[in-house]
Amino acid sequence: MGKSKELSEDVRRRIVDLHKSGKSLGAISKELQIPKSSVQSIIRKYDLFGCVSTLPRSGRRPKLSHSDELKLVKMFKDNPGTTKVQIWQELETAGMQVSLSTVKRVLHCVERPKLSGKSTGAELAQRLQQGGVGASAGGGRQKRAAKKPPLSEETVRGRLEFCQKYVDWTAEDWCRVIFSEVSSFRLFAASGKGPARRKDEASQEACGPPAGADPDRVRVWGCFSSKGVGSLTVLPRDTSMNEEWYQSVLQEQLLPTIQEQFDDEKCFFQQGGAPCHRAAGVTKWLRDHEVEVLDLWPANSPDLNPMENLWSFLKKQVDKQKPTNLDQLQTLIRQEWLTVSRDLVQKFISSMPERIAEVVKKRGQPCEF
């Protein structure tokens, strides 16, 4: 049977007036041709709230009951190394149709105690469905894992040495540099956030990402200069980033970019300090092809590489489109890469003199860019 039409306020007032005059529920129902149950409901509401107008309704029934939410919170506390996204993914896999926003809402501002339990999302779903409760203990103000561990003295010296060498370079000088880097794009990375943990949990094994729980990812190598983005290549799964792989990237990706963007103009190539970058075969290849490498590039220096800004921008653009599988993720990465404007990359590169000056000012310590 379909839902009956809601009675107007005039009709509801008439029901209340007849009730006040002493008429019975049956008499009112018969006189106004309204079901007795409706008459009774309107009079009960008037007795409780003193009005006949429509009151605010509670809205859609929640996916999780209050008791389910408490159990979800307890399970979240039991798993210091598990993110909200990973819990949501496991719940979906276990057959519980709960949205990510619901999980985040329930776990918002939850303090995670110092625990070593490693219950999976499947176990969580089972507990919610069976009514089990996970144990929790302790508390304390949570802190997110430090993304920038303290730099070693050797790294600080290397950063300072590099910056002092190039401190006099202008923005025009940096416009002759091709920057490069490998980065990872993850499915369901709206997040972009690592597991939250207390200050004293940073080194605990139990607080690290659970084995095999990492979301699927796509690794890419890319390069760009002030003339725009250069080549971008997606690394096949389980690619070993060794000397042979890197030399093929230089041959197939870097050389075409140099030819297209600089032709016979002098330019420099920036690369990190990974073992494959320093391999003897790679060094020889660069020398044989007359590729001049930017000297003394320091380790652990994402703040000095404008590529980091480009990756951050690109990941936000890709995440907005919510890819659901690896093939779609790869397609979106390539599409968004081609839409990056020259003005944007010039903006990133023009900040190099400021980055250099800031690191020199901080005596080699990290800076924010």
Can you tell me which residue has the tokens 């970058």?
277
Amino acid at 313: F
123: pLDDT confidence band, cut at 50, 70 and 90? Answer: low
What SS3 string covers 44-81? HHHHHHCCCCCCCCCCCCCCCCHHHHHHHHHHHHCCCC
How far is 298 from 277, CA to CA, in rounded Å?
A: 13
Q: Which residues pair with 221 in a beta bridge?
A: 182, 233
Lowest mean pLDDT among 65-79, 152-166, 175-189, 232-246: 65-79
3-state secondary structure of 25: helix
What SS3 string covers 142-164? CEECCCCCCCCHHHHHHHHHHHH
How far is 352 from 354, CA to CA, in rounded Å?
A: 5
3-state secondary structure of 27: helix
167: pLDDT confidence band, cut at 50, 70 and 90? Answer: very high
Q: What pLDDT sits at residue 44?
A: 85
CB 188 within 8 A of CB 215: yes
Report which of 216, 197, 237 is spatially closest to residue 89, judged by C-alpha positions. Answer: 216
Q: What pLDDT sits at residue 57?
A: 58
Supply angle C-alpha 20, 23, 24, rounded to 5.
115
* Residue predicted with more confidence, 4 or 34: 34
Q: What is the CA radius of gyration of the chain?
A: 31
Q: What pLDDT sits at residue 206?
A: 42
Maximum Cα–Cα distance across the chain: 106
pLDDT over 60 at 204, yes or no: no
pLDDT over 70 at 112, yes or no: no
99: pLDDT confidence band, cut at 50, 70 and 90? Answer: confident
Task: Locate 87 and state its tokens.
Answer: 């819990």
190: pLDDT confidence band, cut at 50, 70 and 90? Answer: very low
CA-to-CA dists, residue 321 to 68, 177, 217, 250, angstroms: 31, 32, 16, 31
pLDDT digits (tens, 9 = 90+) for 350-364: 999 999 999 999 898
How far is 265 from 82, CA to CA, in rounded Å?
A: 50
286: pLDDT confidence band, cut at 50, 70 and 90? Answer: very high
How far is 26 from 227, CA to CA, in rounded Å?
A: 85
pLDDT over 60 at 116, yes or no: no
Task: Locate 86 and state its tokens.
Answer: 């990973």
Question: What's the mean pLDDT when you consider all of the chain?
Answer: 80
pLDDT digits (tens, 9 = 90+) for 289-315: 999 999 889 988 989 999 999 999 999
111: pLDDT confidence band, cut at 50, 70 and 90? Answer: low
Q: Which residues pair with 228 in a beta bridge?
A: 225
pTM exceeds 0.75, yes or no: no
* Residue predicted with more confidence, 95 or 23: 23
Terminal Cα-to-Cα distance of the chain (whole angstroms)? 63
58: pLDDT confidence band, cut at 50, 70 and 90? Answer: low
Give mean pLDDT, residues 216-236: 92
Report which of 188, 184, 207 is spatially closest to residue 90, judged by C-alpha positions. Answer: 188
